[in-house]
Amino acid sequence: MRERQGRREGSEEGASPPPPDRGVRLDWADMPVRVRGEIEQWLGGAVVRAVTQPTGFTPGVAARLTVDDGSRVFVKAAGPEPNPDTAAMHRREASIVSALPCDAPVPRLLWSYDEGEGGWIALVFEDVDGRHPTQPWQTDDLHRVGAAMEDLSTFLTPSPLPAATVGTAGYNFASRGWRQLCDERPSRLDHVDEWSRRHLQTLIAIEETVDDALEGNTLLNNDIRADNILLTSNHTWFVDWPHASVGPPWLDVVAFAPSVTMQGGPPPEEVVSAHSSSHSAESDAITAAVVTLAGFFTHRAAQPPPPGLPTVRAFQDAQGVVARNWVAQRTGLS
């Protein structure tokens, strides 16, 4: 396993850089004229500058707009092409973000435009003039983000949205990737590493315990990574909320940790142990979450790339490398 699963840390001499955290973006000018017209009508002026934001995987428009009166907003939008699932994700995010407390560390949703099934949807957010954490991860940024994640989990406990609305982490997070690989053999299992094949039944057994492990009443983002974080001089913002669900306060940092290690930060166990909510969590519960996370990345990396997302499988595979090493460390599976 160690030869195949060697940890990818950008800070290590000779280590290969992590895969890019970006998909295929459309420019503001690529949107239909009617959609741009509706947005400008709501803005009350013409867009005089549009800067596409490259990071993130959503295949659609993600642009900072400057209006002729000098005001600025951030717009994300998608139509039926190239990925028909993106519009549904935007609709879900709109319903979640609009229900968050106004003082949550999340850019406010100002307005949305929705043509319905098969059409375009556009979300207009307040613009945050911030930066993503420096890559490879730097100690100061990581400490700052870790503290902000602790504050976020405290702020969103109890969840301001009911689990009946957004779903539970046990349902949304637990995709049962190891079980799916087993059910899909040999079409998918042939594409994964030997360690995963050798321990598949043990991993499935641990994965099956994850529902009980993920009980909790915190609203989770479930997709915190460097490209979904914005840092200003005095604030840390968390963006992209379509995958939110209700679960234990430590789950966001567990799901976050493999991306940190992949992007040159410390090992995932160190990232998680620095988060105070993990100190009261059952060790077996965290292990079940890590195994499930590893199964998610391993299974997804073996799939063909989705339309408009040519780089996401490599990004998932790199996190899977870290997550499987983490599983081996926590379980002793070698």
Cα distances from 167 to residues 2, 15, 65, 149, 332, in angstroms, run 36, 39, 33, 21, 32
pLDDT at 292 over 80: yes
Q: What percent of the chain has pLDDT over 70?
A: 95
Cα distances from 253 to residues 27, 206, 223, 225, 280, in angstroms, run 33, 20, 10, 10, 14
pLDDT of residue 189: 84
Q: Rounded to an integer, what distance in angstroms lies between the CA atom of residue 179 and that of residue 215? A: 21
* pLDDT, average across residues 140-148: 97
Give yes or no for a contact between 274 and 146, defined as CB atoms under 8 angstroms apart: yes
pLDDT of residue 15: 59
Cα distances from 66 to residues 47, 70, 161, 314, in angstroms, run 6, 6, 33, 34
pLDDT of residue 21: 79
> Which residues is 73 bridged to in the sheet?
65, 126
pLDDT of residue 219: 97
Q: Rounded to an integer, what distance in angstroms lies between the CA atom of residue 5 and that of residue 334? A: 11
The first and second tokens of residue 294, run together, are: 């590893």
Which tens digit of pLDDT belongs to each residue from 100-130? 998 999 999 999 999 999 999 999 999 999 9
Lowest average pLDDT, out of 13-22, 233-242, 248-257, 318-327, goes to: 13-22
Q: What is the 3-state secondary structure (H, E, C) of 158-198?
A: CCCCCHHHHCEHHHHCCCCHHHHHHHHCCCCHHHCCHHHHH
Nearest residue to 57 via CA among 29, 88, 87, 23? 23
pLDDT at 9 over 80: no
pLDDT at 4 over 80: no
The pairing of beta strand 72-78 with beta strand 218-220: unpaired
pLDDT of residue 17: 83
The DSSP annotation for 28-88 comes to GGGS-HHHHHHHHHHHTS-EEEEEE---B--SSEEEEEEETTS-EEEEEEE-SSS-TTHHH
Which tens digit of pLDDT belongs to each residue from 44-72? 999 999 999 988 888 899 999 999 999 99
pLDDT at 273 over 70: yes
Q: Rounded to an integer, what distance in angstroms lies between the CA atom of residue 120 and that of residue 26? A: 13
pLDDT of residue 87: 95
* 8 confidence band (pLDDT: 50, 70, 90): very low
pLDDT of residue 5: 39
Nearest residue to 74 via CA among 120, 48, 107? 107
The first and second tokens of residue 17, run together, are: 């850089």
3-state secondary structure of 219: strand
pLDDT at 283 over 90: yes
* 188 confidence band (pLDDT: 50, 70, 90): confident
Q: In what order do the strands lie in the sheet with 121-126?
A: 47-52, 61-67, 72-78, 121-126, 109-114
The first and second tokens of residue 211, run together, are: 């529902």
* pLDDT, average across residues 317-327: 97
